[in-house]
Amino acid sequence: QVKMERDQVREAMRRLTAMDLLLAEEHKGILYTEGGNDLDLLREWARVLGHPSSPLLRELFWHNNHGRNPKEARAHHFALRAVAENAIKGILLLDGDNRGLPDRELTGDGLEILRWKRYEVENYLIVPDALERFVSQVSGSLFAQTAFRSGAEFLKNSLPPVVLSDPLGEHDYLNATPASKNILPQLFESIGIQVRKSDYYQIAAMMKREEIHAEISEKLD
């Protein structure tokens, strides 16, 4: 058993970087997300809301989980706990598309799993007024008033009416449809602009407090 523990620590050391070890000494917790885009969105929403987590999100210990498979976070967090003097806690924030996995397949000692109710984090950007505001800014002042017309037509033809009329409500459509693949790229294509997924955080930056879903505040809490 002692040899097994030594092997586990040795394997843990190979997984961690020097920066990981330094940050583990300075922080009591670590956040794992499926990618950097998720963190950028959280930062903007926290800023708009004036949420107490906003300063923390600018300086926190964060690790890219590189997708939805929880094994990366579990292994990295185990490594931290194996070598760090403090029992560092962790949160893994996952999209809603893998909620079929039982928690026992996800959790580890000191690692808490949170899931978005909607299919993915980008689904909380589907707020027509906020999207229009973003498109108007990207398109420039000369075309600001007309830029979103084709986009509004696309949303009207593609989304259930209730999603457009009540974007903050609970909708099966937004729980089952990946916005970053089936809504936002087609929306911007219909308008004739190119927006990279890594820039979607700029939509969040344009949102108003009342346009941000209550679940986002819950996750930030």
Long-range contacts of range 41-44, CB-CB < 8 Å, 24 or more positions apart?
A: 41/121, 41/122, 41/124, 41/125, 41/200, 41/201, 41/204, 42/216, 42/219, 42/220, 43/201, 44/201, 44/202, 44/204, 44/205, 44/207
Report whether pLDDT(143) > 90: no
Beta-sheet pairing, 29-33 with 62-64: parallel
* pTM recorded for the entire structure: 0.89
Report whether pLDDT(103) > 70: no
Report whether pLDDT(65) > 80: yes
Question: Could you give the C-alpha distances from 101 to 33, 68, 94, 112, 121, in angstroms and in order?
Answer: 17, 11, 11, 14, 18
pLDDT-based confidence at residue 137 (cuts at 50, 70, 90): confident
* Confidence at residue 176, expressed as pLDDT on a 0 to 100 scale: 96
pLDDT in tens, 145-185: 677 888 999 999 999 999 999 999 999 999 999 999 999 99
* Coil/strand/helix, residue 30: strand
pLDDT-based confidence at residue 10 (cuts at 50, 70, 90): confident
pLDDT in tens, 31-63: 999 999 999 999 999 999 999 999 999 999 999
* Confidence at residue 97, expressed as pLDDT on a 0 to 100 scale: 85
Task: In whole angstroms, give the CA distance from residue 176 to residue 116.
Answer: 12
Question: Of 82, 86, 89, 95, nearest to 112 (Cα)?
Answer: 89
Report whether pLDDT(113) > 80: yes
* Confidence at residue 145, expressed as pLDDT on a 0 to 100 scale: 62
Residues 128, 149 contacting (CB under 8 angstroms): no
Helix (H) or strand (E) holding 22: helix 18-26
